[in-house]
Structure 1
Amino acid sequence: MQSITTTTMVGREDEQAELAAFVGSATGRALVLRGDTGVGKSSLLGHAAALADREGHRVVRAAGVEAESALPYAGLHQLIHPLLPGDAESEAAGPDAGSDAGMRAVFGAVFGAAQGDPPSVMTLGIAVLGLLLRSAAERPLLLVLDDGQWFDDASADVLGFVGRRLSSSRVRLLIAVRTDLASRFDTAALPELPIAALTDEDAARLLDRRHPDLGRRIRRLVLEQAEGNPLALVELPAHLAGRADDPALDDFSGPHGVPLPRRLHQLYGARIAALDEHVRAELLRGALDGAGTTAGTDTVPGTRYPMRDADQAVAAGLLDVAVATGEFVFRHPLVRSAVVRTATPNQRRAAHLELARVHRANLERRATHLAAATVDPDEEVAGVLEAAAGSATRRGGALAAVTWLTRAAELSENPADRSRRLADAAFVAGHAARLGQAHRLVRADPGPGSAGSPASVLAAAYQALYQDGDVRSTHRQVSAAIEKLRDDRPAVTPTATPTGAAVDGGAVDGGEPGEVLTRLVVLLLAISQYSGDRTVWESTHRLLASLGDLVTDRARLYSATWSDVTRYGAGRAEAVRAAAADLPGLAPWDVSRLGAAAYHLDLLDHYRPHLQRVVDRELETGAVATGMVMLHQILLDQMAVGEWAEAESTGQRGLDLAAEHGHHLFAAQSRAYLAQLAALRGQLGRARDLQAEVDAWARPRGVGFLTQVADSAGATAALGSGDHEAAYLYAIGITRPGTFRPYAYQAPRTLLDLVEAARHTGRAEQARAHALAARDAGLPLVSPRLALITYGALAMTAESDGEAAEMFGRAEAQPEADRFPFELARIRLAHGIRVHHVRGGAAARQYLLPAAGAFERLGAAGWAERARAELRATGAPPRTATPNLASLTWQERRIADLAAGGLTNKEIGTRMHLSPRTVSSHLYRIFPKLGITTRAALRDALSRADGASQP
């Protein structure tokens, strides 16, 4: 058998010098070779690999395969599998057993080999980077990727992330891509080396070296038609041999003839046709499964079809033999492509069927081959595709899931299953921000009545709601679809509560109607939430009550928490906390729905770690629309806990994505939250501009959810600037004093705004009535944040100093009070002002000082100045300059306090939803601000800084 040998390259001196510098560089690098088909990229990759091997590097090679370009993480698996820790038992005995187990868990979840929480691109990228750094500890590592344009998007994103972070390592990443095909590497921001055609002189040298006996006419024609393309220079002469006197050669191509790649396909096709049938079949199976992609020194055992008995193809110049492994490899990617193109449809289907049998233990790879092998409806194959779609969805591959579900629908044996699978595909497409595709999938259903089916209503309503903010007509349409499904079911006994029925009835009459009904119910709840309208919500609750046990427990939880936590939220927190333990096994849209419930109950801290792990993954190859919802939830928690700089970045990212995908509702929602944030930070002009923009878009459409946020931003901005009358008018636009308007979700959240604005405008009775209404409504039982502000409002409006002290004590003693620093600082400021009037300045300072410090750390400019003014009024001397402490952000101060208390970086990260490395980076910035160099000095530095701010 012929083996691959290293031959001296002709020309390419500049490229070879660049690659030599790349391989020999002292630090890690990434480089993308970009050029036309056949221009010599693979040869240059081989040259670099040989250089690295001679210098003692470990070389791992991989190649993109068109058949795998839709398989999430297929390319990454091919590349890093040789580097993964080996046998679990032997590895566990070593010092890195814990890290190995964690690494196996991460990669097992990504590659579907184990149950687990699939990480985001960033998290996975960090894990891959860690694996590469460890692999390069003993000797440098070179990763060589050919045909990068065929790498699946998820793998390309991770490798782009890694490639930008190699500068301090001994890892080098070399990638080749074609210029005529788009890929994710095009936007990866990696350095590139363009590979052009050979010069005329070098082309002639290469041709003479490889074919020294060519006649003058053939030589001229090859040089003319090859146009410096090395592959053409090597392959065309054999095709033209013996035809020197053929007049037809004059018309062989010419400037307007067949493109060079197609001519090379024809050339390889002639050689393939001359092979024995069993050899052609072997090559076809290898080509369709991505076998024989590289001549690498490391391979992934068992993941690709191993070609056998193909010596005849080696003799024909179609295959080579890898020296390191002895495996057959295609001589060039065009050979693999030609093998597939020259096969008949029946031959391709037979090959795919055999490959499905070979990969029967790999769900997604088996599904890919079965989908291509099956022509007629086949329920078993459709079921495999459906299962693969579920697996892909949980791993952030919603786009792949849409493809598989659509194919499963095509292969369904009965109309009901076809309609259900098309509906599922449309549902996933909707959550993947492919609203137009969702609509087309529904219209593709040929079943009777499909035009008005629940699935079509669902797709149309998603589009109308998220693109146009249409809450009125979508509520009517979805309600009508639910009523139709209800009327087609057996009668049930309705309940009178607004939370649906008493038992879970999600799977009814075979499951499918229940699933569609549940989707419609959840969408109706989302529409009702965005409406923020009492009439709409009451209509929704009546409809859900009429469904009886057709409503699931989860939908009832959403019904209570999304609608009116003042009336229905008490007692729901435990269910929301418990659901956090199951998040890794849920579809992304279920995670975001539970996140919405957690937000309304101020429990997002239980969900945020998972949201931060998965959001990037969903935004790239998964449920993009759901990922945008997750960004909103992360933003809201960042605002709540005082991470305002991070919240600004998250909000802007969400706004950009919503605008990019045409989700105008989400764009308005991002602006509304950014308006609130700007108001908190004292950026009054920005707050008012964003507030006006949101109000102008949302109010005519009846999107009360957003008009309430706009009014809340207006109240906060007015309070921060001292315009209490304007703040009062904004606050009563949300709810009247002494009551909490039903289904106005901002009503309990603006409790302090209304109370403070009323007090400062001489409306003491209204302020007191509103604080008492909060107590009587049971807000302290709903959430920790509502408990804090209810007792704070009672302290502000107390009729006696003793009651004020008692209520303030309750507020400050709330177990999670410090998790909401802005509200706590407001309550301390108000109480300090009261104490000043009653007991004098010295007594007041113990409340005013921490309030002023908190406002400064948060960056709440207006509130900080007000607190400092109150401090000056107590007779406190001018504050000595403490720039180091004041320069700490709220997040940095929390980290510093926790570290001073003896917590490790890992413990701090767990508490604050940060990685230990991020905590370390924050501490690195904190130390110089405090004038220290060690962790041991933190406690004293903070004490001195706090003491310096005391009068």
Structure 2
Amino acid sequence: MPLFGRDTELKDLAALVEGPADRSGILIRGEAGIGKSALADEAVAAAAIAGVRVLRTAGVQAEQNYAYAGLHRLLYPLRKELTGLPERQYDALATALGLSDSGDEPTAYLVGLAVLTLLADAAYERPLLVVAEDVHWLDPASAEVMAFVARRIDTEPIAVIATSRDDIDTPLADAGLSLVRLEPLSDDDASALLNLVAPELPAQVRDRLQAEANGNPLALTELATAMVDLDELPAALPLTDRLERAFSARGATLPASTRAALLAAALNDGDAVAETLSAASILLGSPTELEILTPAVENRLLVLGDGTVAFRHPLMRSALIAAATPDERARTHRALADVLAGHPDRRAWQRAAAATGADEQAALELEDVAERARHRGGAIAALQRAADLSDSPGLRADRLLRAAEFAVDSGRRDTAERLVQAARMLPTTPRHDATAAWLLSGFDDGLRENPSRIAELAALAAAVAADGYPDAAMRILWGAAMRCFWSEPGADTRRALLAVADELPVDGDDPRIVAVSAYVAPFERGERVIDRLRALASDTGRNHEVDRFLGSAALQVGAFDLAAHFSAAAAPGFRAAGQLGLLPRALTVQAWTLTRLGDLPAAARAAAEAADFARETGQPFMHGLATAVQAEIAALRGDYPHAAALAGDAERIGLASSARPVLATVQLARGIVALGEGRYDDAFADLRRMHDPRDPSHSPALRAYFLAELTDAAIRAGRADALRELLRGLEPAVASTPSPALHIGWRYAHALLATDDAEAHFAGALAADLTAWPAERGRLHLSYGEWLRRQRRVVESRTHLRTAREIFDALGFTAWSERARLELRSAGESSPNRDPDARDRLTPHELSIARLAAQGLTNREIGQRLYLSHRTVSTHLHRIFPKLGVSSRTDLAGLLPTDEGATA
């Protein structure tokens, strides 16, 4: 049947099938019955003509509790190709699809990488069209994987077409697909459709039908075909309800045996016709044959396939379920449970659906389902339903809190809060209270909270510890400590947190205690933390979670070299495990600290990847901080317009969430831009804001680590007295901690502020061990050379200025390079033009790929590291080689030396 009123949409789909061009896919949204599936069918037909291979799946409401059900349907035609996947990807995908139970639950991201590789390999032989209908009803695991893949196929011969209802959310809505929203048909198009499907309708009925259908093609065709008495359908009902009434009325005219089989098909979570007939046999008490479904097929409710049964439209299924009585539904669910004895998970869900009150046996079976679940979403759903069926409040609270724990692990804060709140409304034990308390304390990213919340968590941690639950107290304490980084609770709250930490029966060398001390008291406990970090630095790589804790701790206390070391050690573990929710945290710490150390190429790679993954995994704090670091990098490279744009983006995120480190880093980037442009008053104003407790960018620890930039701005703006006042406020911190970043900046500031003994201050600052801090060493040489030239010691100044120029050229600090060149010219020495480093010609993403290729990794290995398909890697390398003027990986190795700070 031709489609009316969809010419524009058909052209868009045809263009996508012929070649994705600048978009990877289309998401078709609209109300039920608006024609989404008809458009998808047209695209499939066009693909057949174009020689494009098609893979299809669809969300089914009854399958939402079964992890990867939709993915299994999509990939079934490729099942023989799974063995060609890399071992880790094969294990993840085989486990997800139930083909293997040899491994632990794989993350959706690792499964997504396997699917991406599988599809890319298939598309290499023949272009591929992936069609996913009713994605709003896909099980959450499949939806996450589909969204992951959709974001990464822009360079692949793969196109995605998805369809979704307007009123239901789906992860694919944020996966970069072009949106096509279907509107109702115009009156002319609706009339043309009615002329085709019901030309004999009386004029009065036709006019009423067209008005009631409101341009909905399904309503126009189905209501007209059924010849429903429209006067029995109240106009106040939504169109979807009127359609469901029409479908249920159509089913009511069928024989009783057919109605029983229809309800079994509607309530079954599978599409095997044999299951439907077996359940109908139990309900009717006698064997049934396929002919029992013939009346439903003739009435255009069902479509029979090769051993399968499907409803012509999802509304038909929901209409039949809604029309059945509770007793009829329960009896049918029990019959299906008996039929599904060989499928324990499906059987458990059918038994649970049949229950009308508490059913502990059904609850226990659902607990087993949760244990076997291959995705946290399935486990949460099973435990929630098990809680509903529990025969005691204690068991119900246990199951709700266990479901909440899975929600926390999945980063689903809203779900976790709802489950914990439900558990707290029940009679609970101290153990329940302790569990509920720590579950919600772990969320530290993405929510703006009142700093008083930190004080509440401190008191809660103390109470939970007093009740004999030290591990729960430790978890709560960690959540509170993390908040001390993002916001400022005040000295009293920080002291309360330290008091709780000191009283916990936990080894003082526990990485969590080390990190808590660093977050809560970076200066007061700085010496103890730094000593412990140095002792642990040689023991990295064994536990990436521990390495992440220690990397964060090192950043707080200004040990940036150690922070870069620990975070670089943590990243590979998160990659290998597919923990992309935690990876941005390690990468952001790595990027932040490498920028301060001067390794801009490695920092840019880490920051770009952190920003991408943080956005994808819904972590606005980390996304904002990574974006602010990108702004700082652009400023250091002299790209001031780009730095300003990135700083603005990061500031919007930071202000919305009141994330102080984001705003502090934004001010740093702006201060560097102002310094580079010679706007010294502006630079000092930007950087001074971090030292004002009333300013949202005030960060008690970070403000102490930007003293060199603050000093440069203050001296050039003639604000030396204001600088001295700010430094006096930091004297207690300098006396209490050996923080490298603080002391390097402190020595630099006093060298520039000194009058009679400036040379001694410069000599002392340069005598410190700056091996891991080349940017700071270059800054000292530059300022010392400038001071010598002002003292008319021109010949001596050239040595320091030349050293500074060479350091900044090597680091890519364009603004500082130019400043050194200008000073050298004033000292009577010209400088050669700086040849752009090979790394400057590539984007951070390209640089990540090029560096890994230079190390000898294959395209597949690079793809596994960066969560890309190996064919996407190949495409990037074909762009990278001409940019660098090389033709092989061997040439890359000579241009791109390895470095410890690289994203592993």
TM over 0.5: yes
CA-based RMSD? 5.8
1:363-398 Cα deviation digits (max 9, x unpaired): 987776666455544566556666777888x9675x
Q: CA deviation at 1:604?
A: 0.8
From 113, 135, 141, the counterpart of 1:148: 135
Per-residue CA deviations over 1:803-862 (Å, capped at 9, x if unaligned) read x4xx66xx54xxxx4xx653464477689999998996786688434312135x145x2x
In the TM superposition, 1:340-379 aligns within 5 A as: 340-349=321-330, 372-377=353-358
Q: 1:537–1:136: structure 2 CA closer, same or farther, 3 Å change rule?
A: closer
Aligned partner of 1:312 among 277, 292, 310: 292
5 Å matches for 1:295-694?
309-316=289-296, 317=299, 319-321=301-303, 325-349=306-330, 372-377=353-358, 406-423=384-401, 432=411, 434=413, 438=417, 441-442=420-421, 445-448=424-427, 453-454=433-434, 470-471=450-451, 474-475=454-455, 477-489=456-468, 513=469, 516-526=472-482, 539-548=496-505, 553=510, 555-559=512-516, 562=519, 563=521, 564-572=525-533, 581-583=542-544, 593=549, 596-597=552-553, 599=555, 601-602=562-563, 603-609=566-572, 618=581, 632-633=588-589, 635-637=591-593, 639-640=595-596, 641-643=599-601, 654=620, 667-679=659-671, 682=675
Paired residues of 1:718 and 1:727 also in contact (CA < 8 A) = yes
- In structure 2, relative to structure 1, the CA distance for the partners of 1:183 and 1:556 (3 Å cut) is closer
Q: 1:844 to 1:922 in 2, by over 3 A?
A: farther
CA contact (8 A) 2:89 2:111 kept: no
Looking at structure 1, the residues matched to 873 and 171 of structure 2 have their Cα atoms a distance apart, in angstroms, of 31
1-side partners of 2:668 and 2:210: how far apart?
68
Q: How many angstroms does 1:424 deviate by? A: 5.5
Shift of 1:327: 1.8
Return the offset for 1:753. Answer: 0.4
Which secondary structure state, in structure 1, belongs to the residue aligned with residue 589 of structure 2?
helix
Q: Secondary structure at the match of 1:136?
A: helix
Question: Which residue, 868, 875, 879 being the options, matches 2:821?
Answer: 868
User: How far, CA to CA, are the matches of 1:865 and 1:463 in structure 2?
Assistant: 45
Contact 1:146 1:177 in 2 (8 A): yes
1:407 deviates by 4.5
Instruction: Tell me which of 227, 243, 260 is aligned to 1:264.
Output: 243
Q: Does 1:190 align with 2:178?
A: yes
Q: Which residue of 820, 823, 830 corresponds with 1:877?
A: 830
Alignment of 1:811-822 (within 5 A): 811-812=770-771, 817=772, 822=775
Q: Equivalent of 2:700, from 683, 686, 707?
A: 707
Whether the 8 Å CA contact 1:33–1:195 is kept in 2: the answer is: no
Could you say if the C-alpha distance between residues 577 and 738 of structure 1 is closer, same or farther in structure 2, counting changes exceeding 3 Å? closer
Q: 1:605 deviation in Å? A: 0.8
Tell whether 2:736 aligns with 1:740: yes
SS of the residue aligned with 1:442?
A: helix
1:329 deviates by: 1.7
SS of the residue 1:266 aligns to = helix
Range with greater deviation from structure 2 (383-392 or 33-42): 383-392
Partners in 1 of 2:49 and 2:177 — Cα distance? 30
Q: Do the aligned partners of 1:835 and 1:844 also contact (CA within 8 Å) in 2?
A: no
Match of 1:205, as an amino acid?
Answer: N
Q: What is residue 75 of structure 1 aligned with on the other side?
A: 70
Aligned counterparts of 1:928 and 1:9: Cα–Cα separation in 2: 49
2:716 counterpart of 1:716: no
Aligned pair 1:852/2:808, yes or no? Answer: yes
> In 2, Cα distance between the equivalents of 1:722 and 1:928?
45
**Given that residues 64 and 150 in structure 1 are in contact (C-alpha distance below 8 angstroms), is that contact kept between their aligned partners in structure 2?**
yes
The answer for the alignment partner of 1:136 in structure 2 is 123
Deviation at 1:334, TM superposition (A): 1.5
Shift of 1:716: 2.7
> Residue 536 and residue 117 in structure 1: after superposition, are their counterparts in 2 closer, same or farther (change >3 A)?
same
Deviation at 1:752, TM superposition (A): 0.8
Which amino acid in the other structure matches residue 481 of structure 1?
A: L
Contact 1:34 1:176 in 2 (8 A): yes
- Structure 1 gap ranges (5+): 1-7, 92-96, 242-248, 296-300, 490-512, 619-625, 770-792, 799-803, 944-951
Distance 1:549 1:119 in 2: 31
The change in CA–CA distance for 1:142 and 1:914 in structure 2 (over 3 A counts) is closer
Structure 2 residue runs of 5 or longer lacking an equivalent are: 281-287, 557-561, 625-650, 898-904
For the Cα contact (< 8 Å) 1:425–1:438, is it kept in 2? no
CA contact under 8 A between 1:119 and 1:614: conserved in structure 2? yes
Q: Take 2:509 and 2:262, find their aligned partners in 1: how far apart are those partners? A: 52
2:75 maps to a residue whose letter is: I
887 and 716 in structure 1: CA distance in 2 versus 1, 3 angstrom threshold? same
Instruction: Write the deviation string for residues 87-143 of structure 1: whole angstroms up to 9, x where unpaired.
Output: x7xx4xxxxx4x45354245347668664695676x766654443232234444333
Distance of 2:490 and 2:535 partners within structure 1:
27
Letter in 2 for 1:194: L
Aligned partner of 1:46 in structure 2 is 41
Equivalent of residue 741 in structure 2, options 740, 744, 749: 749
Q: Distance in 1 between matches of 2:362 and 2:880?
A: 58
Mark the CA change 1:134 to 1:81 in structure 2 (over 3 Å): closer, same or farther. same
Deviation at 1:336, TM superposition (A): 1.4
Alpha carbons of 1:735 and 1:419: their partners in 2 closer, same or farther (altered >3 Å)?
Answer: farther
Pair 1:535–1:52, CA change in 2 (3 A): closer
The residue aligned with 1:199 is 189
TM-score when normalising by structure 2: 0.71
CA 1:228–1:882: 2 relative to 1, 3 Å: closer
C-alpha spacing 1:320/1:939, structure 2 compared with 1 (3 Å)? closer
Q: Give the drift of 1:410.
A: 4.0
Superposed counterparts of 1:8-157, under 5 Å: 8-9=1-2, 14=7, 18=11, 21-22=14-15, 25=18, 30-53=25-48, 56-69=51-64, 73-86=68-81, 91=83, 97=84, 99-108=85-94, 115=103, 127-152=114-139, 155-156=142-143
Q: Distance in 2 between matches of 1:579 and 1:408?
A: 41
The residue type paired with residue 739 of structure 1 is A
Identity %: 25
Q: Match for 1:606: what amino acid? A: A
> What is the Cα deviation at residue 526 of structure 1?
3.8
Count of residue correspondences: 820
